[in-house]
């Protein structure tokens, strides 16, 4: 039995969950999300609760799908009510982030500024050297934050680059052999 899959998800006030033709729709104050359901998964939304069941409890692949879809539905409900946010930090001499309309412009040591286009449902905000990526789709927020971070990952010698807030970067020592010989 899947511990995560058995968990019954409650539907908060203001959120509408509908299941039709193998597709789950979750609509709330922040937006609307859709999820295509696997044929072995059955989702029932009644009395303010969402229950996920599988065709065969003894099959390991079905149990894995059970937990996965239960978590995805929980994330959809959280997304349309509260939303998700990822914070990034830029460090380095001359490294800057700025808004260009709804898009994000990064100056991170290249000969040109790097533009990151805004996706529908995702909002950027910049405050000094901090970037926030906000939206109601957890997967999209994480993907866009990872794409921004991959533009200039933090290098281990000086710590310059883009990192998540709270991320710990292991620093390396520089070349000491040349200094010791001189």
CATH code for the domain in which residue 125 is found: 3.90.930.12
Q: Are residues 36 and 88 in the same domain?
A: no
7-63 pLDDT per residue, tens: 889 999 999 999 998 899 999 999 999 999 999 999 999 889 999 999 888 888 888
Q: Among candidates 148, 139, 171, 140, which has minimal Cα distance to 88? A: 148
What is this structure's pTM?
Answer: 0.86
- Which of 46, 81, 116 is where one domain is finished? 81
In the predicted structure, residue 151 carries a pLDDT above the cut 90: yes
Q: Which domain holds residue 92?
A: 84-164
Rounded CA-CA distance 11/13 in Å is 7
Paired sense of beta strands 84-91 and 96-100, if any: unpaired
Look at residue 107 and tell me if it is in a domain. Answer: yes
> In angstroms, how far apart are the furthest CA atoms of the chain?
78
Tokens of 87: 């914070």
- Which of 81, 99, 114 is where one domain is finished? 81
Q: Which distant-in-sequence residues (6+ apart) come within 8 Å of 108 by Cβ? A: 90, 92, 95, 114, 151, 152, 161, 162
Look at residue 124 and tell me if it is in a domain. Answer: yes
Q: Are residues 55 and 10 in the same domain?
A: yes
Give 182's pLDDT tier (boundaries 50, 70, 90).
low
Look at residue 57 and tell me if it is in a domain. Answer: yes
Look at residue 178 and tell me if it is in a domain. Answer: no
Q: Are residues 75 and 91 in the same domain?
A: no
Label residue 70 exposed, middle or buried (CB < 10 Å: 0-12, 13-18, 19+). Answer: buried
Q: Are residues 122 and 89 in the same domain?
A: yes
Question: What pLDDT is recorded for position 56?
Answer: 87
Question: What pLDDT is recorded for position 58?
Answer: 87
Percent of the chain with pLDDT over 70: 96
Number of domains in the chain: 2
Rounded CA-CA distance 25/76 in Å is 9
Q: Average pLDDT in the 104-128 region?
A: 94
Q: Calculate the average pLDDT of the chain.
A: 92
152 phi and psi angles, rounded to 5 deg: -150, 85
| CB distance 24 to 37 below 8 Å | yes
């Amino acid at each position: 039995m899947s511990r995560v899959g058995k968990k019954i998800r409650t539907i908060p006030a203001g959120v509408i969950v509908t299941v039709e033709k193998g597709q789950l729709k979750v609509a709330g104050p922040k937006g609307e999300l859709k999820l295509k359901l696997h044929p072995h998964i059955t989702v029932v939304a009644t009395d303010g609760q969402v229950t996920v069941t599988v065709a065969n409890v003894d099959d390991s692949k079905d149990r894995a799908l059970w937990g996965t879809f239960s978590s995805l539905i929980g994330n959809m409900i959280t997304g349309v009510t509260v939303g998700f946010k990822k914070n990034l930090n830029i460090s380095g001499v001359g490294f800057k982030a700025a808004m260009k309309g709804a898009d994000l412009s990064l100056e991170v040591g290249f000969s040109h500024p790097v533009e990151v286009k805004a996706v529908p449902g995702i909002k950027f905000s910049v405050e000094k050297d901090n970037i926030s990526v906000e939206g109601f789709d957890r997967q999209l927020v994480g993907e866009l934050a990872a794409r921004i971070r991959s533009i200039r990952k933090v290098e281990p010698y000086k710590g310059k680059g883009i990192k998540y807030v709270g991320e710990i970067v292991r620093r390396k020592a520089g070349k000491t052999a040349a200094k010791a010989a001189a």
